[in-house]
Amino acid sequence: MILSLDTAVSTEYGNLMTGTTSWQTLSALYLSGRVAATLCGPPCETFSEARYTPAPPGETLWPRPLRSFDRLFGLEGLTFRELKQCAVGSSFFLQTIWILCIHIQCGGLFVAEHPARPADASRPSIWTSPIVQLLLMLPELQLHHVAQYQWGADAVKPTGLLALAMPFFRCDLYKKAFSDAVRPTRAAIGKNPNGEFNTSRHKEYPGRFCLALAFTFANQFNRLLGSDRTRAVPHTAQDLEEWVASAAKASTPIRTGAQWLPDFQNL
């Protein structure tokens, strides 16, 4: 059973802010060992290198850097709204790490997606954070860097993928890459003629990239099943099972042309 928990799918089940019913229920499912695999992407809005792009002439409202390597959880002198944005982004980052640690303890597969590590070491990245660097000492955890244009993105889109217990992840992922992909020359920076940031459309993965990620999980599940590396887990409380069933129903519809939502929704 696959749950797609995102506010773009369901504002009720997809709101995973700490303290919400969805996050508390999901946490109980993780702690009981009921989750076989996780694919997640902590919001990049407040970490993005695009914030270091200078504003074009005449532009007065322009995102500025909110973090740095030295001050990963927020620079000094931020506005109240910027502090709230950082708080939300930091919370989801730490929730991602918590989920990873649960998988390390209880088993299961895990992949987290986030922009690639910046070339400028002074800029922020979850991948260079002390907690991720510490966890990367574990032999089953690997950080991969890829460029999403190889799966159909119209910008290079350097991407980091943190994978747990998936030794063939990179090999499986590239099996679904386009063999004739040409590296784009334009960058997803600035705004389009409609006034929308060019980074917005890249919140959604290319269809081929989605296929490739699903393929990596399916292949690894088949390997585990073939080698009998599974275990049964006890049933959870009925209210948890009912929540899972309802969340699965909300996750079922597949829509096209849906509106992109901002990372920071001030829920």
pLDDT value of position 236 = 82
Q: How many CA atoms, within 13 angstroms, populate the side-chain half-sphere of residue 120?
A: 10
d(CA 182, CA 149) in angstroms, rounded, equals 8
**Predicted confidence band of residue 266 (pLDDT cuts 50, 70, 90):** low
3-state secondary structure of 144: strand
pLDDT digits (tens, 9 = 90+) for 92-148: 999 999 999 999 999 999 999 999 999 999 999 999 999 999 999 999 999 999 999
d(CA 91, CA 193) in angstroms, rounded, equals 34
Does pLDDT of 47 surpass 80? yes
Does pLDDT of 81 surpass 70? yes
Q: Report residue 247 as tokens.
A: 């969340």
pLDDT value of position 53 = 86
pLDDT value of position 198 = 57
**Predicted confidence band of residue 60 (pLDDT cuts 50, 70, 90):** confident
Contact criterion met (CB below 8 Å) for 172 and 219 = yes
Contact criterion met (CB below 8 Å) for 263 and 45 = yes
Q: What is the mean pLDDT of residues 22-33?
A: 95
pLDDT digits (tens, 9 = 90+) for 142-190: 999 999 999 999 889 999 999 999 999 999 999 999 999 999 887 666 5
